[in-house]
Amino acid sequence: MIRRQRLAAGVCALLAALAAGIACPGGAAADETEPQPAPKVELVLDVSGSMRTRDIDGGTRMAAAKQAFNEVLDATPEEVELGIRTLGANYRGNDRKEGCKDTQQLYPVGPLDRTDAKTAVATLAPTGWTPIGPALLKAAADFGNGDGNRRIVLISDGEDTCQPLDPCEVAREIAAKGIGLTIDTLGLVPDAKTRDQLSCIADATGGTYTSVQHKEELTDRVAQLVERAADPVVTPVATEGTDACAGAPALKSGLYTDREEFGKQRWYKVDVQPGQELRASVSVADDRATNPDYGVLLRAVTQQGREIVRGEGAGTGRTDAISTGLRYPRPEADDDDTTPETVCLQVTNSFSAGAGVKTTPGMPLELTVDVVDGPSASSDVASFGLGRGWWLLAALVLTGFVAGLLWGWLSRWRVAVWRTN
């Protein structure tokens, strides 16, 4: 009996090993990929005079922020490069011009020395103005050039006091550069105006806004945002569409960002070989107040202007983004022709701005392009619609075959043992 149990356990282990080995082909090779750029985060903290207010769990807003920073610094993933910038931390006077320059990098974005960072935070005391716009401009520059996930986490308790440099417009300008920078905002017991401003900043870059009233909420949310920066993401590439296909940028498979004005169109070009399939999708973000009833149209068109296929999306009321997509499988050529077909992609939106709303820069546009091997008339598994997942079906079939053989052998062995007993 014990021998049979051991044998059954061995068979199960063998099946598991076979399944794991087949389902993860080239597992060793996966470790040989090129290293990715380190994710970078900069915490931007409001140190204006209002941070002295005692309304967060009996303590000051500044004390809650310091506690959150200390705990977050301890929990920051090793792969994240982190920096700290302040606003309103140094100038105590009443000169508005000087107060609106008051932003400095307290700790540079780079590998984290927790002791140095905590020491720098401990020296902060609520002081001056609230130059959010200037601080965001400086924070965006703190990351320098290069790729990788970049995120600003802004913590503030009041409106920007340095108008007319509108921080929401600053965020839109940052997003328009297409540098893959996200701004998340947290409001410490904010009023309605502060909430609207911080929400607008976050919306402009695809970030999030959170209202905070307790120390634990602040610590948990900042920690979540820092950890999120370590998640692998596809960094979008900035491009600039044109008003006609003739001069449109040629795109390859990837994720792209652009800006599109209200009620306008943008054109792009993609080359598709015989037997390939073009898959494209577009999202237009509603990053400011717009009128109800809107839509987005994505068309694939030949260079001669003939429409191949289209995708449409429409809605009414309030939305954060509207999306649509299309697929164009180009047939196999009858001969050995490998001449690519240039497909023109046209993106058109029917948004209209609300009263008094600025129309520039245009609304954020995100375009995904994927050119893959299309369906084939051969026996390729892709013809069943599995695409690049054919190996999974093969793994399941092979695993089932091996399992059947082993189970049959085990059954025959058990019958033989039973007869001998």
Domain boundaries, the chain: 40-229, 237-373
Query: How far, rounded to the nearest angstrom, does the alpha carbon of residue 138 sit from its chain's CA centroid?
Result: 22
Beta pairing partners, 312: 297
C-beta separation of 100 from 135 below 8 A: no
- C-alpha to C-alpha distances, 394 to 18, 139, 240, 263, 400, nearest whole angstrom: 13, 50, 42, 49, 10
Taking residue 398's Cβ as centre, other Cβ atoms within 10 Å add up to 14
d(CA 86, CA 408): 70
pLDDT at 4: 45
Per-residue confidence band for 375, with pLDDT thresholds at 50, 70 and 90: low
Residues 334-366: tens digit of each pLDDT: 777 788 999 999 999 998 888 888 888 888 888
Nearest to 323 by CA among 269, 277, 270, 365: 365
pLDDT above 70: percentage of residues in the chain: 80
| Beta pairing, strands 54-56 & 59-60 | antiparallel
Beta pairing partners, 266: 347
Residues ≥6 apart with Cβ < 8 Å to 117 = 69, 73, 82, 84, 107
Is 40-229's fold the same as 237-373's? Answer: no
How big is the chain by its Cα radius of gyration, in Å?
Answer: 28
Residue 386 has pLDDT above 60, yes or no: no
pLDDT at 268: 97
Q: What is the dihedral of CA 372, 377, 378, 381, to 10 degrees?
A: 50
Residues 50-93: tens digit of each pLDDT: 899 998 999 999 999 999 999 999 999 999 999 999 998 888 88
pLDDT, averaged across the chain: 81
Residues 218-242: tens digit of each pLDDT: 998 898 888 888 776 566 788 999 9
d(CA 133, CA 136): 5
Report the topology of domain 237-373. Answer: Jelly Rolls (2.60.120)
Report the topology of domain 40-229. Answer: Rossmann fold (3.40.50)
What angle do helix axes 132-142 and 167-176 make, rounded to 10 degrees?
A: 20
Nearest to 79 by CA among 271, 232, 302, 272: 232
- More confident: 264 or 177: 264
Helix (H, G, I), strand (E, B) or coil at 14: helix
- Residue 122 phi, psi dihedral angles, 5° rounding: -65, -25
| Beta pairing, strands 250-251 & 265-272 | parallel
pLDDT at 59: 93
The per-residue DSSP string of 206-225 comes to T--EEEE-SHHHHHHHHHHH
Residue 387 has pLDDT above 50, yes or no: no
Q: Which of 6-10, 157-161, 336-340 has the lowest mean pLDDT?
A: 6-10
Question: How much is the pTM?
Answer: 0.56
d(CA 133, CA 162): 7
Nearest to 312 by CA among 289, 278, 343, 282: 282
